[in-house]
A and B are shown apart, each in its own frame.
Chain A
């Protein structure tokens, strides 16, 4: 691909447990959890009453009152995370010679402005009384809520990005697929710098209700701090989360020329579909393994080169088995030696956003040489028999990190990050 490769030069995070990259990293390395009883609304009627919520004040985080007024929370998260990532990258979009025509936006989201759409609907339908809603109660910015692309547009407008812009919306793999899309834009020469990541703010009654209906979320309501239990034998579903992470994905030579700090390179990206079931997974993990194998081929690396696996680890019964099988299939014996962990144990599962939040965690893991743990991991499940880094972070030099995601619709995604200089 014309010798172009992509690196990550900036990281911005809005996550439960603290706004900003530093607070996020502190939480992950401490092994604390940010899951709690839902406070945004009265969760009494719901089967799952726990979530990982962000304590987020958009004005304090730097948004204007008009940005707040017209944007759903998922867009607000994205703008704040993007601003932090750009500042971290050292790109000065106003004065440095950044070619704005080659500055792109690739932002993932699984469910867009669901929260705002639900809130507005309550008014238009008078609390669900009228199917024929009264359009006179529609807020001025309801179109922005209907089309999730408005989030990418907001990011492009705020940062003057005239390159290709899009929302990537592949459900729960959106965060990986958006960064993968950014990586391909850079490799193919369509952009030099991409504001890439994902965002979701799904903690609303309708989202809780729809996952209640399929019993996908945890009902460990009496113990919210320990409800997200990936790979543990007593796991009973995922814990809803919210947040955003943005990575600055930059062409390697572009980054080198300006002397940018490089967290890591993107060495390979792939996705597959399981063509099986919208929500179900076969226990064999074949399609995820196929995606992992593809990333290794692209990176010209061997399974043994992987020093950490950031798992999807949602904490549902079937996911964690499916994924463990995929790791064994792709990595062979190495699967038993490499540390595997799920940060969803601490920050919950923020649907489309989590893939990017996990890539932010991986970038920081490489940077600081620390493997984040799987919190709440206590009782091994015989079907999940790998090293899941229970409870405590580990200092370890990390050269190559694999992150994977799995989502409704059958999407299976994998991405490989590598320490600068580690790949060709």
Chain B
């Protein structure tokens, strides 16, 4: 089996549209969680979020398509465009069946959905847009990206809340191993309309602080819930040999390991122990043919509440044993909020860039780590050679997923 490698990445994030803008801001440690601007959220318990500034559909697609699609689709189309350009990959120039699209999705095109339900109940069924049936549903992005880029290969939509970005990449790797040379993977979200914010506040896990600095604080003594956010990332994944044949000299990284488990404990409550998360980490590392001693950095889920952060810390301790306090742990999403499936996809990009540049970004908005956690949280960008990255993500209701990224030299050797 040839390795599966990352050959291109594209980012639309609160901290930057475009990979380098995102990365620069992340390494600069800028906080991009702000009071919600797109509507008056003052009646909500949660009033802050990570918002992509000045993101306009007209920069990426024509008006005709813009009226047919939700903001989450605009972001997916933009991130895909960036990723394909970065990879130098022209899907239309290949056998159309050789490229697939596998995205995670948390909540679909929910602003579009709110608008049309509103139209129906306020004005009747004739007021409902002809595009409602294709704009809200969770497969909208996969379909639109496939159509726009002319890809006809095996495609999928994997939904597991915040773990979806990693599960999509796991599914993409499976698809490549089964013979499709290239798959676009990742995901975006745009859940910041009045109705979807109301839905999200119902989960009881978001911050109620109006002050971004005191809001989402993963692993902090003041952790009090997360801030939601919009955006995400798309990655071009390729069979390493095929990528080499088309002239990719040095891919970013190899998707070396993947695993998923489920707590199967309670529909809402955090599990009693971290057993399934630990198993997920161990299994992903083993799947990469590595041992915990090989891992250079953990990009954590960093849920931003004491119970869930505590469980993740315990899983890291159990996985890394006596080395646990020496493995750098980060969670750059503290700077931008939790982007659901888009966030886990984006953390893969952070891992890829950490490998590329030999620098680990800091935990976002961490002021005062819980002393008892006893982990090596990255407080300032840390320059060091990075070869193996463990990315973890969780989804509401008990989903756990991990991906292990590895530097490109191994993949090149193997091919």
A residues engaging B (CB < 8 A)?
Answer: 45-47, 70, 100-101, 105, 110-112, 117-118, 121-122, 124-125, 127-129, 131-136, 138-150, 152-154, 156-157, 159-171, 174, 177, 181, 184, 188, 205-206, 208-214, 216, 270-279, 287, 290, 407-411
A188 to B1, CA, bound (A): 12
Chain B residue with the shortest CB-CB distance to A279: B134
Q: Could you tell me the distance between the alpha carbons of A128 and B122 in the complex, rounded to whole angstroms?
A: 5
The answer to whether B107 has its CB under 8 Å from any CB of chain A is yes
A165/B262 in contact, CB under 8 A? yes
Question: Given A146-B196, A279-B133, are A163 and B39 neighbors across the interface (CB < 8 Å)?
Answer: no
**Closest residue to B149 on the A side, CB-wise?**
A275
Give chain B nearest CB distance to A206 CB in angstroms: 5
Q: Which of B106, B143, B276 is packed against the most chain A CB atoms within 10 Å?
A: B143
Of B40, B143, B156, B199, most buried by chain A (CB within 10 Å of CB) is B199
Distance in angstroms between the alpha carbons of A127 and B160 in the assembled complex: 31
- Chain B residues contacting A141 (CB-CB under 8 Å) are 202
Could you say which residues of chain A place their CB within 8 Å of the CB of B142? 170, 273, 409
| Interface set of B (CB-CB < 8 Å, partner A) | 39-40, 43-45, 68, 96-97, 100-101, 105-108, 110, 113-114, 116-125, 128-130, 132-134, 136-140, 142-144, 146-147, 149-161, 164, 167, 171, 174, 178, 191, 194-203, 259-267, 276, 279, 340, 395-399
In the bound complex, do residue B134 and residue A125 qualify as a contact, i.e. CB atoms below 8 Å apart? no
CB closest chain-B residue, reference A409: B143
A121-B117, A169-B138, A170-B139 in contact; A411/B155 too (CB < 8 A)?
A: yes
Once A161-B262, A206-B128 are accepted as A-B contacts, the answer to whether A147 and B159 lie under 8 Å apart by CB is yes
Chain A hits for B200, CB < 8 A:
143, 146
Chain A residue with Cβ nearest B142: A409
Main DSSP-derived SS at the B contact region: mixed
The 4 A-B residue pairs with the shortest CB-CB distance in the complex, in nearest-first order: A409-B143, A153-B397, A128-B121, A128-B122
What chain A residues lie within 8 Å of B151 (beta carbons)?
273, 275
Closest partner residue, chain A, to B340 (CB atom)? A147
A80 CB to nearest chain B CB (Å): 16
| Contact residue among B120, B171, B264 (Cβ-Cβ distance under 8 Å from A156) | B264
Given contacts A136-B43, A408-B134, list 10 more A-B pairs with CB under 8 A. Answer: A147-B106, A153-B262, A154-B267, A163-B262, A170-B155, A171-B137, A181-B171, A272-B152, A273-B153, A409-B139
* 27 contacting pairs across A/B (C-beta < 8 A): A46-B125, A121-B121, A128-B122, A131-B114, A132-B40, A138-B201, A142-B199, A146-B107, A146-B199, A147-B395, A153-B262, A153-B398, A159-B264, A164-B259, A166-B164, A167-B158, A169-B139, A169-B157, A205-B120, A209-B132, A213-B128, A216-B133, A272-B154, A273-B155, A275-B151, A278-B143, A408-B134
Residue contact B139 to A213, C-beta cutoff 8 Å: no
Min Cβ gap B226→A in Å is 13
* Residues on A with beta carbons closer than 8 Å to the beta carbon of B160: 149, 152, 165-167
Contact yes or no, B137 A408, CB < 8 A = yes
Please name all residues of chain B whose beta carbon is closer than 8 Å to the beta carbon of A129 when the two chains form the complex.
Answer: 122
* A184 and B174 contacting across the interface, CB-CB below 8 Å: yes
B143's nearest neighbour on chain A, judged by CB, is A409
Cβ-neighbour of A100 out of B40, B154, B264 (below 8 A): B264
* Most chain B CB inside 10 Å of its own CB: which residue of A135, A144, A270: A135
B71 to chain A, nearest CB (A): 15
CA distance A157 to B263 in the complex (A): 8
Closest A residue, CB atoms, query B265: A157
Bound-state CA distance A216–B155 (Å) is 24
Whole-angstrom CA separation of A309 from B125 in the bound complex = 37
**Nearest neighbor of B148 in chain A, beta-carbon distance:** A275
The closest CB in chain A to the CB of B107 belongs to A146
- Which partner residue on chain B sits nearest A413 by CB separation? B154
Residue pair B159, A214 in contact (C-beta under 8 Å): no
